[in-house]
Amino acid sequence: MNSYQKLDIENAPVPSTPDTLADRDYNSTRQGLRMPEYGRFVQEMVEYCLTITDRAARQHYAYAIADVMAGLNPEMRDVPGYQHKIWDHLAYIADYKLDIDYPFPINKNDGHKLSPQKLTYPKGHIRFRHYGRLLEKAVNELKETPESPQRDELTRLIANRMKRNLADWKGDGVADSKVARDIAYYTEGRVNPNFSSPGEGLMQIGENRFRTRRNKGLI
């Protein structure tokens, strides 16, 4: 005897679903978020707060919202000015229609979306791009350093870093004399290191220590 029972498909219960696609709740059909970083839950809390008629209750609920917003980034709680920023954001999400006693003066954003300031790309000529701006600044500081054992040690530290960068960019064997010539050029002849003497050579860099330009497909 077959242990399986025949299913009555025609009379089987149908799962409860919305009648039409229009009845379904999608984020794409919802109102846009004024500050997406706080999420829809915070925005809905603010929208509800706007409907509270009792001023004291509305004030209490606004503080609860601010506490939730601050809790999203707990590591920022003790940062100076962070609490003020939270209340600025709360006022912005409420479209400045929330009638409460704010603990800080609100910096109104005039309806423009709050966003981080655009970082400006550092400008200025770099003589050797493979060394980078920081190394160039370090060598410029070296140029102004009086001759001393400390300057010799600083020269060696900078030279080893330059050799690493040069090996990463070039990929072939890097001669210490090349680094010494570049330092002399950078410093306009004020610093002329000699890494060819016994025991004075720079660090050794293995061929596989860095991805070369050839491995990157740049040449």
pLDDT, residue 4, reads: 37
pLDDT, one tens digit per residue, over 107-130 is: 886 445 555 566 666 666 677 777
| Distance of alpha carbon 134 from alpha carbon 126, whole angstroms | 10
pLDDT, one tens digit per residue, over 17-39 is: 555 545 555 555 567 788 888 98
Q: Model-level pTM?
A: 0.42
Among candidates 113, 135, 114, 116, which has minimal Cα distance to 126? 135
* Calculated CA dihedral for residues 212, 214, 217, 219, nearest 10 degrees: 120
pLDDT, residue 75, reads: 80
pLDDT, residue 134, reads: 80
* Calculated CA dihedral for residues 25, 27, 32, 38, nearest 10 degrees: 120
Q: What is the mean pLDDT of residues 2-9?
A: 40
Token pair listed for 148: 């001393």
Q: What is the mean pLDDT of residues 152-162?
A: 87
pLDDT, residue 159, reads: 86
pLDDT, one tens digit per residue, over 167-195 is: 888 766 778 888 888 888 888 888 888 88
pLDDT, one tens digit per residue, over 48-100 is: 999 999 999 999 999 999 999 998 888 887 788 899 999 999 999 999 999 99
pLDDT, residue 44, reads: 92
pLDDT, residue 105, reads: 92
| Distance of alpha carbon 136 from alpha carbon 37, whole angstroms | 39
Cβ atoms of residues 33 and 40 within 8 Å:
yes
Distances (CA, A) of 17 to 8, 11, 29: 21, 17, 18
pLDDT band at 12 (very low <50, low <70, confident <90, very high): very low
3-state secondary structure (DSSP) of residue 41: helix
> Domain coordinates of the chain in residue numbers?
31-116, 120-219
Taken in order 182, 183, 186, 188, the sign of the CA dihedral is negative
